[in-house]
């Protein structure tokens, strides 16, 4: 069996059955309704078709970046059916497997590369939003493409033959920011850090490449920053969505920092988590704040009020916020716990695969720290992206889909460490 697999080698052929699986999954799970986040993205697409992104002040709406609405724009302009657009997700996720494979094969054996790529192909937590018009699938694809371009850009000893990958990496990183604005902080932190380190190591080709990649990324999303500045007068303003921090800062016992929806909705939006008395508790704890917030005109002022209350909550009860961060890590890895929530079978789907991910993280941390100076520069670069992202995500209300987006990077890390430390000897496989 192993000889037959190894004789093919071409990842496009090796993983083609998964493309068919994903297409069938999308067709089976597809819904014509634009529920949840889908309606918001389509609303921004409608705005773009009318010639603007956000309504003018004071009715500013910058809930998310324009990356995904821009992706959807040509399909909407050409009136292409939604089902066809959703089916593209199947192709994007299939390509993410290819880029994981192509990244790993540069540094690990074919066997290890195939096994880890197969793990990613079977990582069903990533299927969660595949049949919907949401940002998760395209972000996963962009992360995998970024990883591949980074490995190729830093794989060259100089700039010869590396320029196309440097430019590609910078543009893709910038577009990731436009799709998931949280990555803007990662670009900023890494850009400042790489410039400082480059000043001390002026002869380092790698730091020079890193700075160029990050500058291209910053340049890619900077027009959006100019646009938000023109609307808000605020520098480096990315999003008017601040309720994730508000819910994360909840100081009340029995509330674990998970997002619970707008209290302006009637009945209170608890999704599938409702238990007797949950709405009453949430209304008692938060209705007054929401009433005050929604008296304000425009998302900008409302966002400022959310932030102000959240910061005040954190100052008053910092240990409760720290507790919520711990619970948040549980939700990121295991989809548990949720406030006022009944037990959900969905947690059983998240636990096995993410348990493996967490185990490998713990196993790989020690050799990574010990041999940090000997690690590939591209691996260090990618690890900074993944762990800064997870660090920021842990401070805001998050779920398992936040972890899923950087699993390709984590798999690349595992493969590299396994290749350097463990010899697989599987005979007659």
Q: What is the predicted pLDDT for the residue at 117? A: 97
Tens digits of residue pLDDT in 169-195: 999 999 999 999 999 999 999 999 999
Q: What is the pLDDT of residue 261?
A: 72
pLDDT of amino acid 291: 87
Q: What is the tens place of the pLDDT at every residue in 53-103?
A: 999 888 888 989 999 999 999 999 999 999 999 999 999 999 999 999 999
Encoded tokens for 362: 């713990």
Q: DSSP assignment of 96-121, as one string?
A: HHHHHHHHHTTTS-HHHHHHHHHHHH
Between the alpha carbon of residue 118 and those of residues 14, 15, 97, 296, the distances in Å are: 10, 8, 8, 51
Structure confidence at residue 428 (pLDDT): 43
The average pLDDT across 302-319 equals: 94
Alpha carbons 284 and 229: distance in angstroms, whole number: 37
> Which DSSP string do the residues of 202-264 spell out, in sequence order?
TT-HHHHHHHHHHHHHHHHHHHHHHHHHHHH--TT---S--HHHHHHT--STT--S-----TT
Confidence at residue 270, expressed as pLDDT on a 0 to 100 scale: 56
According to DSSP, residue 373 is labeled: G
Mean pLDDT of the chain: 90
CA distance 290 to 2: 60
- Asked if the model's pLDDT at residue 319 lies above 90, the reply is yes
Q: Which range has the top average pLDDT, 122-126, 279-283, 298-302? A: 122-126
Q: What is the pLDDT of residue 159?
A: 86
* pLDDT tier for residue 426 given thresholds of 50, 70 and 90: very low
Rounded to whole angstroms, how far apart are CA atoms 184 and 177? 5
CB 69 within 8 A of CB 44: yes
Q: How far is CA 211 from CA 118, 173, 187, in A?
A: 33, 13, 10
Q: Percentage of the chain with pLDDT > 90?
A: 71
Contacts within 8 Å (CB) and 24+ apart, 358-363: 358/333, 360/410, 360/414, 361/410, 363/417
Over residues 269-275, the mean pLDDT reads 59
User: Which tens digit of pLDDT belongs to each residue from 55-67?
Assistant: 988 888 898 999 9
pTM here is 0.94
Residue 427 has pLDDT above 60, yes or no: no
- Would the pLDDT of 6 be above 70? no
pLDDT of residue 429: 42
């Amino acid at each position: 069996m192993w000889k037959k697999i190894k004789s093919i080698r071409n990842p496009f052929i090796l993983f083609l059955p998964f493309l068919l699986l994903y297409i069938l999954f999308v067709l089976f799970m597809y819904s014509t309704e634009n529920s949840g986040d889908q309606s918001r993205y389509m609303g921004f697409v409608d705005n773009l078709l009318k010639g603007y992104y956000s309504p003018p002040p004071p009715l500013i709406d910058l809930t998310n970046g324009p990356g995904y609405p821009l992706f959807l724009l040509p399909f909407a302009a050409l009136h292409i059916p939604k089902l066809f657009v959703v089916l593209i997700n199947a192709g994007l996720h299939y390509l993410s497997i290819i880029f994981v494979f192509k990244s790993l094969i540069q540094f690990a054996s074919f066997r290890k590369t195939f096994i880890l790529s197969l793990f990613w192909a079977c990582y069903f937590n990533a299927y969660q939003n595949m049949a919907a018009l949401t940002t998760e699938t395209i972000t996963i694809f962009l992360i995998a493409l970024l990883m591949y371009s980074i490995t190729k850009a830093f794989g060259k000893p100089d700039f010869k033959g590396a320029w196309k990958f440097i430019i590609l990496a910078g543009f893709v990183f910038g577009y990731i920011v436009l799709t998931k604005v949280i990555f803007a902080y990662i670009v900023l932190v890494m850009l400042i850090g790489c410039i400082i380190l480059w000043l001390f190591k002026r002869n380092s080709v790698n730091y020079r490449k890193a700075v160029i990649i990050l500058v291209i990324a910053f340049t890619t999303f900077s027009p959006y920053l100019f646009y938000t500045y023109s609307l808000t007068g605020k520098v480096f303003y990315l999003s008017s969505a601040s309720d994730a921090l508000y819910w994360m800062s909840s100081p009340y016992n029995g509330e674990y920092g998970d997002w619970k929806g707008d209290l302006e909705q009637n009945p209170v939006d608890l999704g599938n988590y409702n238990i007797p008395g949950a709405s009453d508790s949430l209304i008692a704890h938060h209705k007054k704040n929401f009433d005050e917030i929604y008296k304000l005109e425009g998302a900008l002022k409302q966002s400022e009020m959310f932030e102000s209350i959240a910061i005040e909550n954190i100052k008053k009860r910092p240990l409760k916020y720290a507790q919520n961060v711990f619970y948040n890590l549980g939700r990121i890895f295991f989809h548990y716990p949720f406030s006022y929530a009944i037990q959900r079978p969905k947690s059983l789907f998240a636990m096995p695969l993410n348990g493996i991910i967490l185990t490998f993280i713990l196993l790989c941390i020690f050799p990574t720290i010990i041999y940090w100076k000997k690690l590939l520069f591209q691996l260090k670069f990618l690890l900074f992206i993944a762990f800064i992202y997870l660090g920021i995500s842990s401070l805001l209300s998050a779920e398992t889909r936040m972890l899923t987006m950087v699993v390709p990077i984590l798999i690349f890390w595992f493969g590299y460490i396994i290749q350097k430390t463990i010899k697989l000897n599987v005979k007659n496989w």
